[in-house]
Chain A
Amino acid sequence: MQLLGIIISLLGGGVLALLVGRQSASASRWLSLVSLAVASVFYASLWFDTTDPQATSLWLLHMDWPWIARFGIHVLLATDGLSLVLIGLTLVLGYVALLSAWHEINHRCGLFYLNFLFTLAGVVGVFSALDLFLFFVFWEVMLVPMFLIIAIWGHEGRRYAATKFFIYTQASSLLMLAAMVGLVLLNQQQTGVWSFSWFTLTQTDTSGSLGMWLMLGFYVAFLVKLPGLPVHNWLPDAHTQAPTPGSILLAGILLKTGAYGLLRFVWPLFPDAASTFAPIAMGLGVLSVLYAAKLAFAQNDLKRLIAYTSISHMGFVSLGIFAWNHLSLQGTVMQMVGHGLSSAGLFAIAGLLQQRLHTRDLDKMGGLWGQMPKLAALSMLFAVAALGLPGLANFIGEFMVLLGVFQVAPWAASLAALGMILAPVYALIIMQKGFFGASLGTQTVGTTEVLDLNTRELLMLAVLVVGLVLLGFWPNLIFTITAAPVDYLMHLGKGG
């Protein structure tokens, strides 16, 4: 019930925000906040229901209504610990993105919040739908509003970026749809029953070359979303051109749907094909880590730099998933959460700097430490989170991924570990170019007002900092929840 509550309150809030947005922009803001708060209340009740020590079952919540009976399509929503964690991340980053939109989005507010909340609803749906058809519907629900957010509220190159984003994701989700239908047909041939249910389809025998092709259909769709080499090129443009809340949603949450898809679908549905393909996928993961890190270093557009760091970090996710052992998978989940928080922080910082300086060009910045000490300190924190400093969530993720990968593929882990050397190279260059050096004075800044963070901005970043530090020191908060689902996925992914 609570899952439906979350999705409906977000969708309903979006529609209402559009309606009141015509009268008052600030009403639509507050309405979005309220709908997010209602969704959080549902989430909290889900959390307290399920962390009840009595409830030891794997599926914390399970809802199943028939939808299109002819093809065995159901409205099948279910949550295990993995979905629970990712939905939680979605809601937390929802608040952060909303706070960052508060003053940045000033035209067509109603429409913006409609798209904003619909994206969130789509993501929550993606993380909880276990009917493949329903999953696909939500997959599209989150893409279209995101496309509009980039196309309408983006920066100077928004149309090119939005189109590129749309084509990449649409083309790849077509592949996924085809693979999905193929899988359902295969299952129908084997059992004589039409079903889109994940629970049924994981029982399908997908060994053989057809299984490999179907697996690749899913893999490509999720790899585009993740994104990984060599289909990552939509991301730097989309991230750079999106408005700050859009970048936060994209980096923080939307990329995680790709990782989630690999975890939830690729391995459990196609265990044989996935394990055959694993060396290639891990190789691509290593390439992503190193290649994107090198590209990040060369950028002078701050948002583009952060975008490439995302690709680098998602390379670890790819690597961890295809190593497919308990350590690497738990690490992957932590890496997803850690990257969600730290990249949201970095994009929020980039947004704040752009508001103040009207540029994203690092070469035009410098000496900001003296003028904005709080902003500088928090930038430092997010930068070191991104470079994997122990004590923050990203370290736990990266360390466990590499530790897990090393058990099965020492060379892949050792090569990817070189990313640890490149990470400070790109992360600290932000500090060097942005914050070190003599103060620029007012001629570039263009204003003499107080430039450091105000309370709203501080609150927005503090949420992320608390999350990063908390998970850096008590990562078991997440590991205890995700241990059982990870074991179950591994059991399915081992080929029954």
Chain B
Amino acid sequence: MQQLWLIPCLPLVGFLLLVLGHGRCSRSAARLVGVGSVAMAALVTLWVALDFYSPGAAQSYQVELWPWFSAGALEVSFGLYLDGLSLSMLFVITGVGSLIHWYASGYMWQDPDYQRFFAYMNLFVAAMLMLVLADNLVLLFLGWEGVGLCSFLLIGFWHQDPANGYAARKAFVVTRVGDTAFAIGLFLLFRELGTLDLPTIMALAPEQFVMGANRPTLIAALLLAGAVGKSAQLPLHTWLPDAMAGPTPVSALIHAATMVTAGVYLIARTHEVFLQAPDVLLVVAFIGLFTLLISGFTALNQTDIKRVLAYSTMSQIGYMFFALGVGAWNESVFHLMTHALFKALLFMTAGSIILAMHHEQDIRSMGGLRRQLPVPFWCFVIGSACLVALPPTSGFFSKEAILNASWQLPGYGPWLWAGGVLGAFITAIYSFRLLFMVFFGPQKAQPHEPKGWQFHPPLMILAALSLVAGWFVLPTGPVLPASPAGHPPTWTIVVAIAMPLLGIGIAYQVYVRHQWQGLRLAQWPQLRQFLFQGWGFDGLYQRLLLTPFTALALVNRHDIIDGVPKLLIQLSRFLHGLFSQLQNGQLRFYIATLASAAIIVLALALKVL
């Protein structure tokens, strides 16, 4: 148990070595440090897990590294906390993380800034590990902001193009909106409970809060706003598609497998607070539902391979929020894990395709690649099968469990279930549209597939894991509340399995056999444009927030308050001019004023006397 601190520390040391040795060590040394540190963290995680699973071991423990800051009633430690939930996250971060690092060491090999890339990646992993291991909310916030910074740095990694910088800033600022709400939530939580220590909050929340009262509802709503920003859910989701400007391994690691699921982790971690706010939980479910539908529809007609996957990520995280909202806590974390595996697989496969196509990302320029790129093809098939939840892949188990739980929610249950099934149907259409457009049909360009030990093995390992992960059992049971007992009627399960198959069938008809063209959106150009641009959210925010703010900033660029001292200057200049006219050197003027002043003074004096 003593070795827990090593897990975040190893990537941090990797980061420091890469930064301090900048320009002084070879590419392969950078690779060794960059990939090695994360792989070692994964090994230590296994070691920790062996301890955790050993009979008689504690189900949760806290390790204080040093007291971070204390003032008055506030005591914040720099401490780590391990339980089943954080252990599950550790598996995902270090396991999937080291496979992505392995892959990235090949993908980025030609890049002149190889070392800087791995420095950022290691810093990201360290921050993400702090986020999930933190034993208090301030330290969690440190990890939370840390991953945001690394996301900024990696989206803007290719700094030569100012558009990447713009996308990076957008991601940072939009998530910061959520982070600010999160911070206010912390202030309120501290005011109510007098602590920010996570185990204490979990113990105190059910005792101190009245279920459904204003305080827990407000706190949960503020935490939810933070989660929504980080996890790219409505209405703070607009940054994620632009974040695809970063290198593809970054998209796989940060914008699919780990960072964007931090919101799910936050809600699961503070579930006791959310349980006291049933209204907010319902909001969580509906945010998840709307996000998964809206981003699913948007994914339907994207043309950039990475943007399709980005919208699909939003949609899948929507399922996780949906699950949290309907009380399927364990299932949500389970879907987080399976999604991390198959989405990382899809992104990395997409990376191989992009490299093979000489950095072409438009799927309309691809086609017929299945013969030339057999390994990516099969990996993509497996990934897509998981994504659309075909039995018996891992995606099937996690999504099915979520839909079953949603049916049983009293009140809105069947409606939520229907929305979720509709989402699954759309998922099937856009996933297989992507698959068919890239790998089937006529071949449009000659690919040059990157091969070697950095490309195929990580893909194959992930593909294998994605297939079998449905049988994994995560140790979240003792931490999170159990999902509602009982079974939905059998027909719901049949429908839930049939809908994705129907979706695949439609995609096959339209994109392989080129029939049913009436279904294509090309007939309604305005609708198509609306969907293509993500339902106009960007334009809305542009008009509502950005344009007024920049206009205001530009109008008042020179600070209107500066007018006050400027006015004083003008006033004294004016007075100066006025009085200096009196001193004009004309004798007759002096005599005249002297005489008239004397008369006035005399007259006044006489009157007074």
Contact = CB atoms under 8 A, between A and B. Distances in A.
B552 interface: yes
B508 interface: no
Contacts of B357: none
A389 B562 CA distance: 31
B202 to A, nearest CB: 20
A421 B180 contact: yes
A417 B184 contact: yes
A369 B292 CA distance: 38
Contact of B66 (A164, A396, A474): A474
A399 B72 contact: no
A366 B159 CA distance: 10
Nearest to B140: A390
A429 to B, nearest CB: 8
A298 interface: yes
Interface in A448-496: 473-476, 479, 483
Contacts of B145: 389-391, 395
Given A420-B176, A425-B173, A436 B184 contact: no
Contacts of B554: 298
Contact of A417 (B67, B156, B166, B183): B183
A6 B67 CA distance: 33
Given A294-B553, A297-B553, A399-B183, A436 B165 contact: yes
Contacts of B78: 473
Interface in B166-213: 166, 168-169, 172-173, 176-177, 179-180, 183-184, 186-188, 190-191
Interface string A145-176: 00000000000000000001000100000000
B149 A420 contact: no
Interface in B29-50: none
A236 interface: yes
Contacts of B74: 327, 400, 403
Contacts of B153: 380
Interface in A357-409: 366-367, 369-370, 373-374, 377, 380, 384, 389-391, 395-396, 399-400, 402-403, 406-407
A396 B71 CA distance: 11
A183 B133 CA distance: 55
Nearest to A232: B561
Contacts of A326: 71-72
B562 A406 contact: no
B146 A391 contact: yes
A164 B183 CA distance: 39
A229 interface: yes
A118 B165 CA distance: 44
Given A294-B556, A373-B22, A406-B188, A420 B68 contact: no
Interface in B62-109: 66-74, 78
A138 interface: no
B70 A476 contact: yes
A322 to B, nearest CB: 17
B91 to A, nearest CB: 25
Contacts of B562: 233
Interface in A327-347: 327, 330-331
A354 interface: no
A298 B152 contact: no
Interface residues of A, number: 62
Given A298-B556, A437-B162, A400 B71 contact: yes
A406 B19 CA distance: 38
B251 interface: no
B565 interface: yes
A355 interface: no
B160 A370 contact: yes
Given A229-B561, A389-B149, A473 B169 contact: no
Contacts of A45: none
A123 interface: no
B71 A327 contact: yes
A435 B159 contact: yes
A407 B561 contact: no
B564 A233 contact: yes
B69 A369 contact: no
A437 B165 contact: yes
Contacts of B168: 428
B140 to A, nearest CB: 10
Contacts of A105: none
Interface of A is mostly: helix
A82 B550 CA distance: 40
B69 A476 contact: yes
Contact of A298 (B179, B188, B553, B564): B553
A152 to B, nearest CB: 22
A295 B553 contact: yes
A53 interface: no
B282 interface: no
A298 B184 contact: no
Given A233-B562, A236-B559, A428-B152, A399 B138 contact: yes
Contacts of B116: 373
B287 to A, nearest CB: 20
Interface string A232-264: 111010000000000000000000000000000
B557 interface: yes
A325 B72 contact: yes
B184 to A, nearest CB: 5
Interface in A283-342: 294-295, 297-299, 325-327, 330-331
A432 B169 contact: yes
A298 B564 CA distance: 20
Interface string A422-443: 0011001101100111110000
A424 B564 contact: no
Contacts of B19: 377
B233 interface: no
B233 to A, nearest CB: 18
B160 A437 contact: yes
B182 to A, nearest CB: 10
Nearest to A396: B69
A428 B160 contact: no
Interface string B116-147: 10000000000000000000001001100110
B406 interface: no
Contacts of A413: 184, 187
A230 interface: yes
Nearest to A334: B69
Contacts of A178: none
Nearest to B72: A326
B164 interface: yes
Interface string A186-227: 000000000000000000000000000000000000000000
Nearest to B179: A420
A418 interface: yes
A367 B160 contact: yes
Contacts of A437: 159-162, 165
A413 B159 CA distance: 36
A424 B565 contact: no
A414 interface: yes
B164 A436 contact: yes
B304 to A, nearest CB: 22
B149 A417 contact: no
Given A406-B188, A474-B66, A330 B22 contact: no
Given A230-B564, A414-B184, A474-B66, 8 more contacts: A234-B565, A298-B554, A299-B557, A390-B138, A400-B71, A420-B183, A428-B173, A439-B160
21 contacts: A164-B565, A232-B561, A233-B559, A295-B556, A330-B72, A369-B159, A370-B160, A389-B149, A391-B142, A391-B145, A402-B187, A403-B187, A417-B183, A420-B180, A421-B176, A432-B162, A436-B160, A437-B160, A437-B161, A437-B165, A475-B68
The 4 A-B pairs with the shortest beta carbon distances in the complex, nearest first, are A436-B165, A326-B72, A390-B142, A406-B187
